[in-house]
């Protein structure tokens, strides 16, 4: 209790200093973790995408209906039987350093994302053979083959365009001073404490940005975020814990907004770690019950699932259902593997929700013979450990994409930028490639189903459930648009008077 009160005090102290003559124009947001890397080429964390929504415009945006809509590109068209994408850029885009955002700048960025050693976007852009800038407002992307996910890719980090002048000056240190073209520019960052931004008056959509300053505070503890909001020290928080949703709905000075999510929670498993034998991974899955996890830790608000697409959607396959818990079958697999009491470590974010989920799984798995040790740490530290393959199993969150390829290939393709497991399977790779090259939904469904049948059997990742997003807002805020991707769009947001 004393630690919790201390955390609350730190959180309140961190925002008290914002008071002043411009406080009414300052939007204060609490997020669930400290962003690890503010460089779209190297970013892999969800909270970084929340920050990028303010900082970096993208070529294409995604609406609440998951349809693509213009942002830096005002129009696009497929040519050459799907092997060419032609983009028309807006004429009033500018970077925060005052330089023009034109087709040449887009080419610099896409070339970097495609080829720079530090880029995690290379696999997403692998089919791109050339990026051309025939005039300042036209970008032509040539492909080696039809690539259905490309628009979805350009609606995420690979579509975020940074200042070529800043890239030339800083290179792979661009995260130290990320200069983009979004509605806010970065003015100050204190790691683990705050990110401060100011409104860009010259932005093409500045008339629809109604706050002068933006302060983003990483507060991993869900209770502390919520208490700060209820105390009036924050204006907006993301990811209200399921256990707090009902109380938040009843709170007099705040409102709750929600959306069905394309995001999911997963576990990813080091293929060279303590669970390298696939029988141990299958036994662990048989030892847990996703439905119980949802009811106990998540108030029954989320959707238990074992696939990257939510049930009832086009690329969810009911013939590959969530396995029923079977402790005896799990024990039999462990005996078959010659390891009746395997020990392994689960890296868990320092969040009450994930911690409780981990503890429930620990208890369930123990009944089958597993000795699971929970190690709690910052989300960014988990990513660092996982990228170095210094782990057995780790929690991950995927915020979801509009195209099905973006919801699984990054994790299980041998060249996926989030493949932290070392998993590589030629059948999975071939099925994912075939699905990307097809535009017919039935054909794509067949290929994604083939891939799913294989990786679900191998278990390099284990999807636990799909989220519902719950945001908390100060009462009287207007213009907030809930989105299935969990991101906060700032256009139209207005603070309450006073």
User: Mind listing the pLDDT tens digit for each residue in 175-186?
Assistant: 999 999 999 999
What is the distance between the alpha carbons of residues 122 and 353, in angstroms, rounded to a whole number?
33
Bridge partners, residue 461, by sequence? 268
Over the stretch 398-429, which tens digit does the pLDDT of each residue have? 988 989 999 999 999 999 989 999 999 999 99
User: Which of 19-23, 85-89, 109-113, 155-159 has the lowest average pLDDT?
Assistant: 19-23
Question: Is the pLDDT reported for residue 204 higher than 60?
Answer: yes
**279/137 same-domain check:** no
Same domain, 268 and 163: no
State how far Cα 180 lies from the chain centre: 19
Strands (E), 107-248: 128-135, 138-143, 184-190, 194-199, 213-218, 236-237
Judge contact between 31 and 219, C-beta under 8 A.
yes
Query: Are residues 154 and 277 both part of a single domain?
Result: no
The CA R_g of the chain, rounded to the nearest whole Å, is 23
Is 232 part of any domain?
A: no
**Would you state the pLDDT for residue 305?**
97
Cα 179 to its chain centre, rounded Å, is 21
pLDDT band at residue 351 using 50, 70 and 90 as cut-offs = confident
pLDDT attached to residue 16: 40
Residue that is last in its domain, among 168, 198, 224: 168
CA 404/CA 66 separation, integer angstroms: 12
The answer to whether 194 and 187 are in contact (CB under 8 A) is no
Question: What does the pLDDT read at residue 297?
Answer: 95
CA 45, CA 31: separation in Å to the nearest integer? 12
Helix-strand-coil split of the chain, %, nearest 5: 35, 25, 40
Q: How confident is the model at residue 44 (pLDDT cuts 50, 70, 90)?
A: confident
Is residue 97 in a domain? yes
pLDDT of residue 498: 66
Q: Are 354 and 222 in contact (CB under 8 A)?
A: no
Alpha helices in 393-466 (DSSP H): 409-412, 426-437, 441-458
Does position 7 have pLDDT exceeding 80, yes or no?
Answer: no
The pLDDT, as a whole number, for residue 46 is 87
Average pLDDT over residues 98-116: 97
Residue 293: inside a domain: yes
Query: Which of 17, 44, 45, 24 lies closest to 33 in space, CA to CA?
Result: 45
Rounded to whole angstroms, the Cα distance separating 436 from 176 reads 35
Domain boundary at 120, 136, 168, which? 168
- Range 76-102 burial, b when 16+ CB lie within 10 A, else e: bebeeebbbbbbebbeebbbbeeeebb
Residues 391-408: b if buried by 16+ CB within 10 A, e if exposed: bbbbbbbbbbbbbbbbbb
Q: Within a 10 A sphere around the Cβ of 187, how many other Cβ atoms?
A: 12
Q: What is the domain extent for residue 159?
A: 60-168
Residue 493: pLDDT band with limits 50, 70, 90: very high
Asked if residue 102 is part of any domain, the answer here is yes
How crowded is residue 4: how many other Cβ atoms within 10 Å of its Cβ? 12
Place 497 in a pLDDT band, splitting at 50, 70 and 90: confident
Task: Read off the pLDDT band of 392 (50, 70, 90).
Answer: very high
pLDDT, average across residues 437-441: 89
DSSP conformational letter for 381: H
Of 168, 198, 218, which residue constitutes the final position of a domain? 168
Statement to judge: residues 338 and 462 lie in one domain: yes
- Overall number of domains in the chain: 2
Instruction: Please answer whether residues 99 and 392 qualify as being in contact, where contact means their C-beta atoms are separated by less than 8 angstroms.
Output: no
Asked if the structure places residue 69 within a domain, the reply is: yes
Nearest one of 415, 466, 491 to 126, comparing CA atoms: 415
Cα–Cα distances (Å) from 476 to 225, 235, 254, 278, 395, in that order, read: 19, 10, 8, 52, 36
445 confidence band (pLDDT: 50, 70, 90): very high
Residue 352 has pLDDT above 70, yes or no: yes
| Spatial CA neighbour of 216 closest among 37, 29, 375 | 29
Task: Looking at mean pLDDT, say which of 103-107, 115-119, 398-402 comes out highest.
Answer: 103-107
Q: Which residues contact 438 (CB under 8 A, 6 or more apart)?
A: 146, 148, 444, 447
Pairing verdict, β 60-62 and 68-70: antiparallel
For residue 347, pLDDT beyond 90 = yes
Average pLDDT value for the chain = 93
Cβ-contact 204, 90 below 8 angstroms? yes
Report if residue 394 sits inside a domain.
yes
pLDDT category, 260, cuts 50, 70, 90? confident
- pLDDT average, residue stretch 460-471: 96
Tell me what the mean pLDDT of segment 63-77 comes to.
Answer: 94
Over residues 356-372, mean pLDDT = 98
- Residue 100 is part of a domain; what is its CATH number? 3.90.76.10
* Residue 178 is assigned to a structural domain of this protein: no
Neighbours of 426 (CB within 10 A): 9
Report how far residue 120's alpha carbon sits from residue 134's, in angstroms, rounded to the nearest whole number.
27
Residue 430's SS3 state is: helix
Element (H or E) spanning 44, and its range? none
Q: What is the pLDDT of residue 399?
A: 85
Whole-prediction pTM: 0.80
Residues 277 and 413 in one domain: yes
- Could you tell me the CATH number of the domain that includes residue 408? 3.10.105.10
Residue 34 forms part of a structural domain: no
| Residue 386 CA: distances (Å) to CA of 39, 220, 274, 381, 383 | 19, 19, 14, 8, 5
- Provide CB contacts within 8 A for 289, sequence distance 6+: 325, 364
**Can you tell me the mean pLDDT for 107-119?**
96
Q: 201-207 long-range CB contacts below 8 Å, 24 or more apart?
A: 202/94, 203/94, 204/90, 204/92, 204/93, 204/94, 205/491
pLDDT for 481 equals 93
Q: What is the 3-state secondary structure (H, E, C) of 228-273?
A: HHHCCCCCEECCCCHHHHHHHHHCCCEEEEEEEEEEEEEEEECCCC
Is 422 found in the same domain as 281? yes
Distances from the Cα of 213 to the Cαs of 94, 201, 216, 377, in angstroms? 19, 11, 10, 31
């Amino acid at each position: 209790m004393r630690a919790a009160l201390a955390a609350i005090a730190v959180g309140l102290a961190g925002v008290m200093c914002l008071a002043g003559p411009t406080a009414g124009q300052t939007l204060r947001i609490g997020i669930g973790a400290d962003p690890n890397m503010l460089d779209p080429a190297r970013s892999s964390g969800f909270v970084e995408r929340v920050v990028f929504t303010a900082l970096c415009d993208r070529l294409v945006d995604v609406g609440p209906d998951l349809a693509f809509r213009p942002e830096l590109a005002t129009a696009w068209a497929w040519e050459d039987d799907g092997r060419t994408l032609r983009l028309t850029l807006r004429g009033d885009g500018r970077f925060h350093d005052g330089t023009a955002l034109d087709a040449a700048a887009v080419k610099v960025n896409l070339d970097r994302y495609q080829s720079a050693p530090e880029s995690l976007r290379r696999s997403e852009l692998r089919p791109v053979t050339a990026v051309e800038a025939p005039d300042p407002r036209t970008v032509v992307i040539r492909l080696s083959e039809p690539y259905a996910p490309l628009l979805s890719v350009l609606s995420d980090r690979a579509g975020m365009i940074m200042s070529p002048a800043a890239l030339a000056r800083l290179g792979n240190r661009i995260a130290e001073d990320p200069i983009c073209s979004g509605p806010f520019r970065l003015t100050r960052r204190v790691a683990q404490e705050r990110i401060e931004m100011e409104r860009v008056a010259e932005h093409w959509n500045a008339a629809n940005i109604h706050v002068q300053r933006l302060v983003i505070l990483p507060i991993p503890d869900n209770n502390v975020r919520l208490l700060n909001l209820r105390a009036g020290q924050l204006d907006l928080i993301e990811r209200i814990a399921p256990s707090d949703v009902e109380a938040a709905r009843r709170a007099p000075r705040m409102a709750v907004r929600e959306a069905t999510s394309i995001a999911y929670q997963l576990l990813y498993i080091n293929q060279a770690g303590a669970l390298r034998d696939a029988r141990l991974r299958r036994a662990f899955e048989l030892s847990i019950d996703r439905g119980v996890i949802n009811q106990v830790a998540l108030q029954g608000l989320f959707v238990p699932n074992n696939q990257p697409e939510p049930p009832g959607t086009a690329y969810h396959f009911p013939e590959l259902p969530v396995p029923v818990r079977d402790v005896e079958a799990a024990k039999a697999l462990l005996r078959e593997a010659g390891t009746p009491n395997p020990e392994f470590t689960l890296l868990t974010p320092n969040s009450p929700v994930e911690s409780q989920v981990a503890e429930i799984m620990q208890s369930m798995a123990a009944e089958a013979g597993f000795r699971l040790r929970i190690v709690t740490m910052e989300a960014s530290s988990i990513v660092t450990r996982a990228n170095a393959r210094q782990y057995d199993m780790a929690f991950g969150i995927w915020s979801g994409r509009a195209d099905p390829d973006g919801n699984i290939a990054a994790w299980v393709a041998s060249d996926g930028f989030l493949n932290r497991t070392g998993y590589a399977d030629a059948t999975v790779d071939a099925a994912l490639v075939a699905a990307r090259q097809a535009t017919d939904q039935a054909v794509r469904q067949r290929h994604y189903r083939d891939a799913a049948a294989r990786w679900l059997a191998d278990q390099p990742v284990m999807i636990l459930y799909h989220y519902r997003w719950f945001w908390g807002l100060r009462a009287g805020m207007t213009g907030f648009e809930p989105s299935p991707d969990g991101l906060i769009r700032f256009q139209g947001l207005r603070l309450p008077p006073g």
